[in-house]
Structure 1
Amino acid sequence: IVPSMAGMGYVVLTDLKALAKQLTFVESELFSRIRISELFHKNFEKKQRSPFLTASIDRTNHVTSWVMVDILRGNDLKTRVTAVCKWIELAKHLRDLNNYVSVLQIMTALQNSSIERLKLTWNKIPQKWMDVYTEMKELANPENNYRRYRTELKNASVPLLPYLACFLRDLIYMEEMPNFVDNTEGAKLINWNKMRQLGSIFQFVLKSQEFPYQIEPDFEILNHLKHVQIVEEKAAYNISKFLEPTSLIESSLRAKAQTGEKKHKEKIYECENCAMGMNVGYATWQTNNKVTEALQKEIKSHVDEEVYLHYWLRNTNPDDEPAWAEMRRWEIDSDVQRIITSRQELQEQSQTKEERRKRDEVVTMLENENSSLRALCKNLKLQCLMMKGLCQAAGDDGQVDPLIISSFGDALSESGKKLEVIQDKTQSVMES
């Protein structure tokens, strides 16, 4: 689409099982903070009364947008096909972890009109992953009040993460029921049917929170999840139409129906070439989009890429092709964020290397001093043995040559001084 988006997404390049665990870790942390009081009396309809539930809902919208962006960043058909397959595989891993909230987030994105309309992409998905997608689609089917999902959730073991949107629909329906009902004699009685239904939902949520996931955080993956790209649904749809225009999709479907599989493949190839031509045309349009030679010269003079990007953003004409302008602004924002994130990562890596180098220096110095201390102790032990031998050789009178005693005392004094020096060095190293 545009340079900053083109290429493979994060999901294509990472370990999907590790990513599934970290997504589950994030959702579990959010779910564990939700208070039951946020579900009382439609409190979830008011953000100030349900801050943690609102955060969980915002997270759902965030992930759904991220999935769409990760697929739409593929500027060629092969990359988009790979991205869709990877997201289906990730949903499968999440289902194995009983993380139903993330599964339905991904399925919501894959069934969004911006992604579902990419017929050229979906026609290339291998049958293996289409079978998995069909099964996941049945799980996320909202018909009959999510009957398939509710059946699987009922039989699932803890730990698990339920899709709270289903519960919220139930709660809205239950809150419309009266709190009291009249008996045959006209007396007001508590509506125990309503209370039992509300209690079953609250009990299920509390039980699910009692058994958290035991997952160690991977800060490298978590840091990336904090900086993923998102986009408004309207912009995503415009990008989708640019990648696979409706006219190309319709012509491809007509070719498949009229001329058979062989002609269909030829038509797909023609459509892909046409799409590539459109990309080249867009690049040409972008280059010739009323950018004067003076402006080009000034842009090239900027050494700092971040300054250049901000400059480009300020000089974008909002009247030029609204759809293109919208995508260009998105490109600028994402590139600036990418540069800032890269610089932060480089600084952190540099700090980590410097700390590791200092630590290695301290360890080496301590090892050297320890070796010196061992040698000195060995020397002292040898001298003590020599003194003992001299005393035994002196005979019954116990007389020892004063010169020998003086020499031995000097040796001990020198050894003591060396020991003090080693102790001072070791203390200095430990303090640093």
Structure 2
Amino acid sequence: MRATADKSRVRRGTHRTSGKRGIHVAEQSISCPSCGKKIPLTRALRADIEASLKEEYDRRLEEERERAEKDAAKKAERKLAQEMGSLKDQITEQAKALEDAHRLELAMRKRERELERKQADLDVTIARQLDDERKKIVTDAQQRLTEEHRLKDAEKERQLADMRRQIEDLKRKAEQGSQQLQGEAGEGELESILRGSFPSDDISGIGQGVRGADVHHVVVDARGAKAGAILWECKNTRHWSNDWIAKLKQDQRALHADLAVLVTACLPKGCTRFAIIDGVLVSDFACAASLAAVLRGHLLQLAQARHAAMNKEEKLELLYRYLSGVEFRQRVEAVVEAFTAMRKDLEQERRAAERQWARRTKQIDAVTFNVSGMYGDLQGLMPALPSIPLLESSEGEIEAA
């Protein structure tokens, strides 16, 4: 309406003017309603049009801005919905992995308890087998030995009485020969005394430069069988040396002698005439002959006892050899080694399971912690986002750990 009125006024106020070249141009004007002054129509119309255009521009700009904001909001909502869907899928997968890990841990713990139970059963079984085997061996040996001992006790007592009489006779002979050896210091004199006292024995001197003692005395019984051996060493010095004992024991082992005797002019401190030092008999020269008779009688007695109870001794020896021999030890070692190997395998399985549990627990804790943190960040941006109890409980367990 306003534009129509303005145009009407423009038409009514139109008059022509002449220019410099004599051309008349129509000048449009309008009258001010207040003061009646003529105002050129072109300026007012331009301002009005500019205002109208500016208003239209502002309106369209506002519409475009609102439209852009709506589009951006829709895009953001779609993107957020996609991210939420992906996050929910990821959380679901992590929750499933956590549940699988818990099931695996329960299975591994059950397996560990089963291994411990089997190990305990194995310990008891092996202990029972060893006890049964030992009891069986001992029972069989006791039965055999009891029967043999009952039959030969009487014979043994008679033989012991005969041996006692022989020992007394040998002691009397030794006392008679002790005066001959008193004061002598050489192995030659000792060898002569031994040969004179025991002519049936095999007595030989060990020459100088040859490794060994001075006299090797082999005791021979009435049947001409070897009853044992005595190794003699003579020392005619003023000072005692402990090294003599060790050397004589080495010579004894080398010559397989049953007894070793050191005859010396200088006895060790605390010894008057006779002593036993580390399994070696030590004597002065005055007691050497008597000691030889006693030792010889002892070897004869042992030989006769072994001969009288040969079967019994053989069985005892067989039993002793079996229990102290390589075969029995190897059997026991085989059982123990098998038990040790099984125990070692069980320990290795347990340690491997514990390492695997620890590694998977750390991985699960890290995943759960990161997912909980990411979901917490989203809840901070979107308070209306629902909570997931499984994540909250898992996060609490991690913090407590």
Task: Give the TM-score of the pair, scaled to structure 2.
Answer: 0.26
Higher relative contact order (CA 8 A, sep 6+): 1
> Which one has a larger percent helix, Structure 1 or Structure 2?
1
